[in-house]
């Protein structure tokens, strides 16, 4: 099967789907759109403006990382991305949903806030981009891209401050899932791929990378995605916004975030 994956370079749900295709051994080509401008071709191709989208050999088009992973499990059952049945399946699907609906948007808000305040870091996120954009042109596009992304993702100071406050509890939740085996098993499941991609993108920000590395959640992200373009130097966020980090691992407790 030859599939076509439509992405924006560096997007965390795109990385999730790319890794799933690799795990399944599905032959695919990747079409990369410019960030922010991608909403136009994606809407035309998929009737939904977001990446990732996957076009199958028979012409079928699927939009959304979770829907794509479900379809991949139907098409290529082995290795499975979600356990076949029972409580284990429910747990993985719940963790995956959290990674998509809660973690994904938080990561975008935090990252675009940081890039708005450190625009020179944007180039580092495009290091392995295949777009034929001369490096000299890229800085000229930065203000427009950041402006659109801030609006698309409803990025505000108040919201990002709250997001950073929520992060320790979110890491606790991931560590709990690692402890009970929902995440971090011998094979990589759909929730591993979804959550690790979000955490890994957060770890491109040096203010967050240190504290995350100390945590099982951070180790998961690095194990699944050892390489990731992008680096926002320390000091992007006001110090008082980072209070609560670094976050030491808890020994036990219920999931809360």
Ligand X SMILES: N[C@@H](CCC(=O)N[C@@H](CS)C(=O)NCC(=O)O)C(=O)O
Short-list 164, 24, 38, 194, CA closest to 104: 194
At what angle are helices 12-24 and 104-117 packed, to 10 degrees? 130
Contact window for ligand X (CB under 6 A) among 48-56, 109-117, 131-139, 221-229:
48-56
Site for ligand X in 111-150 (CB under 6 A): none
* Residue 161 makes contact with ligand X by CB under 6 A: no
* Residue 39 makes contact with ligand X by CB under 6 A: yes
**Quick one: 64 or 218, whose CB is closer to ligand X?**
64
Site for ligand X in 69-98 (CB under 6 A): none
**With 0-12 CB in 10 A as exposed, 13-18 as middle and 19+ as buried, what is 158?**
exposed
Which strands make up the sheet holding 61-63, listed edge to edge?
27-33, 2-8, 53-55, 61-63
| Distances, alpha carbon 240 to alpha carbons 140, 161, 203, in Å | 32, 9, 19
Contact window for ligand X (CB under 6 A) among 45-53, 76-84, 165-173, 179-187:
45-53
Rule CB under 6 A: choose which of 11, 126, 188, 189 binds ligand X. Answer: 11
Rule CB under 6 A: choose which of 20, 23, 51, 155 binds ligand X. Answer: 51
Taking the complex as a whole, how short is the minimal distance between the CB of residue 93 and ligand X, in angstroms? 14
* Residue 49 makes contact with ligand X by CB under 6 A: yes
Rule CB under 6 A: choose which of 1, 31, 141, 152 binds ligand X. Answer: 152
């Amino acid at each position: 099967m030859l599939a076509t994956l439509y992405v924006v370079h560096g997007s965390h749900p795109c990385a999730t789907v790319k890794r799933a295709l690799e795990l399944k051994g599905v032959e695919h080509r990747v079409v990369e759109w410019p960030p922010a401008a991608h909403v136009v071709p994606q809407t035309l191709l998929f009737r939904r403006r977001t990446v990732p989208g996957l076009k199958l050999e028979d012409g079928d088009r699927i939009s959304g990382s979770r829907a794509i992973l479900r379809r991949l499990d139907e098409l290529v059952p082995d290795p499975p991305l979600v356990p076949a049945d029972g409580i284990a399946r429910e747990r993985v699907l719940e963790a995956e949903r959290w990674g998509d609906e809660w973690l994904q948007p938080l990561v975008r808000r935090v990252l675009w806030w940081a890039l708005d305040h450190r625009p020179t870091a944007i180039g580092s996120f495009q290091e392995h981009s295949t777009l034929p954009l001369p490096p000299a042109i890229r800085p000229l596009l930065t203000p427009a891209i950041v402006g659109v992304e801030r609006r698309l993702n409803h990025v505000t100071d108040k919201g990002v401050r709250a997001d950073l406050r929520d992060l320790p509890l979110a890491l606790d939740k991931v560590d709990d899932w690692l402890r009970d085996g929902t995440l971090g098993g011998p094979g990589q499941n759909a929730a591993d791929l979804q959550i690790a991609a979000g955490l890994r993108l957060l770890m491109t920000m040096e203010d967050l990378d240190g504290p995350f590395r100390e945590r099982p959640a951070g180790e998961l992200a690095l194990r699944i995605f050892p390489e990731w373009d992008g680096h926002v130097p320390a000091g992007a966020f006001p110090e008082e916004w980072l209070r609560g980090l670094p976050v030491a691992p808890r020994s036990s407790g219920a999931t809360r975030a």
